Chains A and B, each alone.
Chain A
Amino acid sequence: MEPRIKMALAIILTAIIVGGIGIGVTVIVLTPPEADALEIYHWWTSGGEKAAVDALIAVFQTEYPDVTVIQSPVTGGAGYTMMGIIKPLVLAGEAPDAFQMHAGYEGKPYFDADLLESIDHIWDEDLKAAVPDVVESMNMFNGHYYSVPVNIHRVNVVWYNKDLLDDNGIDPATLTTWSKFFAACDTLKLAGVTNPVQMGETWTAAHTFEQFIASVGIDFYEDWINGEVTSATDTKLLEAFGYFETYMSYVNPDHAALTWDDATKRLITGDGAFNIMGDWANGEFFIANKTYGVDYGTFAVPGTGAMYGLCIDCFQHPRGVSHPTNSERWLKIVASKAGQDAFNPIKGSIAARTDADTTKYGAYQKAAIIDFGAVTYMFPSVVHGSGAPEAFKVKLSAIISSFVTNLDESAAASALTSYTTQISDEYTKVWSLD
């Protein structure tokens, strides 16, 4: 190449690089940090969930049309994946304006680290009057409010395929004990339903286990989440594991490879009759155009008829966010009647407010709203971040993942109780469920 051409090329290249850097820096420096944006993180990524969060954002944008909403959805049910992403962000001072979180213990690490702003002013008299006391207390630490609930999901729900039960003469209303439930499963098996119960991956199994704990008694559940079940030979603990072992004999063998919504879809396709899942599953039936009471139905997990297992999603105001005003605007919309009535009918949950417009809700939710008012006890879910320290939740998931493959009750019970003892100092909340 001619030296002169080389020289020209070098100059052009340098000009491009320097120009590029120059323009980049100018853009970064001159652009105000997205003055009118709201950045939120959530894990609502499946079909029904996505539609629900879009409806909530639509309410926000009707009120604040100039604000750009930046969503960062992170796949992974129950937020296992997202929490691993959020913690380093918050620690590094790069927290989004609000992020989805479960009420209760899940917010505690942030509260302990002084990374949350108190939002007592958002909890005005109207909101306090509209939200039940127990839900209110799940959003508090040391007497102050740090989050607002967007919904209430029930976790102790058995979903069923109505045709399969009707064809085999099973009345779901009678399935109030495990022995009756297992007898129904036997009937279905004899009728050619190979795996009457459908279950999904690890966290789904842990979710199911939690319902077994509740089914042996609310007092035992209370002890369990207060870190007081520390004996590997505890009869109630072994009783719960015993039920789970029997339950597993009716479960699909490929459970470990199924996402929760795939397991639920097996009911829609008629491959299975029962599925224990929180009532976010209703969204899957909804988008499949199935009718509650006609194609599918629900009943409380056997033994938990008088209980409402709580999974509550909430949002908070992290300290030092880029758009504090929008963060607070978002929290107000999330807590508002309009926001909750837009989100919850699609999501399959019920509003955390008792003044919800029930006409907007589907048949399932109407029944759930009635149950919510009628039950004697409520319990915060462990698997969904509320009931017990996070470390316990992570460990529980792994222990149950082993259990559902080896069905070794005593190994699981001893792993569970010894870990409870090991992290006893992390049980800082004292729950009173009765």
Chain B
Amino acid sequence: MKRKRISRKIFTKDRIIIQFIFLISVLLVGYFVYISIGWNVVVSLSDWEGLVPSYNIVGFDQYINLLGDPVFLTSLMNNILLMLIFVPCTLFLGLFLAILLDQKVRKEAVFRTIYLLPFTLSFVVTGFLWRWMYNPSMGVINTLLEITGLEFLKSGWITDPNIALFCVIVSLIWQFAGYAMLIFLAGIRSIPESHIMAAEVDGASGFQLYKRVIIPQIKASTFTAFVVLMVFALKAFDFIYILTGGGPGYATEILPLTMYKETFAMTHFAYGSAIATVLFLLVMAIVVPYLYSTYRRK
């Protein structure tokens, strides 16, 4: 009797509509995401150069070329350096801001908005903003240093290859700290009040309270923010493209920029696809463990 009811239900109008809508999204996502990724891998195994597509499969030639390409290796190193500095700094700053805001400050919403504002702006806007600020002759940073008598600190900033990447990282931290703060704040706020009160009754206060009670309980938020920042650090394109274009020389060039230049400016489509595939694998190396642990927890 029960079984009959279920089988009848499959053919209800609702069911058909639901499956139809589901099918559309599966097809669209499948084509535009998964088939495109697969196609990219196929292109990376070909010898496609110029605007005419060529699917003449030559195997792993492009990948072997990558290993001997100083530009690719520089970009990869820059990418790694970016992740190593940008991600922890942003996390610490975000946590610090979240803890500050958690002190029951007055006008908390105002501060929260101020800290989050940079993140809501387009990367193109903030890219231009920082480019003007870093401008060695007219930029606000050097001008301020001059006015305050700190002329010895004046620098070429993004035009000095020795520090350009760090300038990029500083501006990225500025943009993302608010985002990390929001995630941490949500994590802190979701800790039951009773835990904190219990700890306070036991005599924990200030630093100890955060160290032993709050921070251990926001592991999930930390992990989420960590993964999002890592993935961004790998595939940041627009911000750096506007700010430095990868220069001077290759000082701030990262993989997505190299990929773009090889593909669209130099029309080395197969080579660009190979870089895209490497980038994809790197992102997967970060995302897959995250997804795995999330599912396991559930």
Residues of A in contact with B (beta carbons under 8 Å apart)? 80, 83-84, 87-88, 90-91, 109-110, 112-115, 202, 253-258, 390-391, 394-395, 398-399, 401-406, 415, 426
Contact = CB atoms under 8 A, between A and B. Distances in A.
B136 A87 contact: no
Interface in B27-57: 49-52
Nearest to B51: A113
Nearest to B136: A254
Closest 4 pairs between A and B when the two form their complex, measured CB to CB = A402-B249, A113-B51, A256-B159, A391-B266
B187 interface: no
Given A87-B51, A109-B51, A402-B250, A254 B267 contact: no
Question: Size class of B's contact patch?
Answer: 20 to 34
B51 A405 contact: no
B51 A83 contact: no
A241 to B, nearest CB: 15
A398 B71 contact: yes
A253 B156 contact: yes
A402 B161 contact: yes
17 contacts: A80-B265, A84-B260, A84-B265, A109-B50, A110-B51, A202-B245, A202-B248, A254-B137, A256-B156, A256-B247, A256-B248, A257-B156, A398-B71, A401-B247, A401-B249, A402-B248, A405-B161
Nearest to A271: B137
Contacts of B247: 202, 256, 398, 401
Given A87-B267, A398-B247, A112 B261 contact: no
Contact of B159 (A84, A257, A406): A257
Interface string B63-84: 0000000110000000000000
Contacts of B137: 254, 257-258
B169 interface: no
Interface string B146-172: 000000000010111100000000000
Contacts, number: 83
A398 to B, nearest CB: 6
B250 A390 contact: no
Contacts of B268: 391
Select the residue from B49, B71, B267 with max chain A CB neighbours within 10 A: B267
Interface string B229-250: 0000000000000000111111
A394 B250 CA distance: 12
A353 B29 CA distance: 54
B135 interface: yes
Contact of A113 (B50, B70, B158, B261): B50
Interface string B118-146: 00000000000000001111010000000
A286 B245 CA distance: 30
A405 B248 contact: yes
A389 to B, nearest CB: 9
Q: Which of B49, B70, B246, B249 has the most CB of A within 10 A?
A: B249
A371 to B, nearest CB: 33
Given A113-B51, A202-B245, A256-B248, A405 B265 contact: no
B260 A405 contact: no
Nearest to A91: B51
A88 B264 CA distance: 8
Contacts of A112: 50-52
B49 to A, nearest CB: 8
B250 A84 contact: no
Interface in B200-225: none
B58 to A, nearest CB: 14
A394 B265 contact: yes
A276 to B, nearest CB: 19
B43 to A, nearest CB: 13
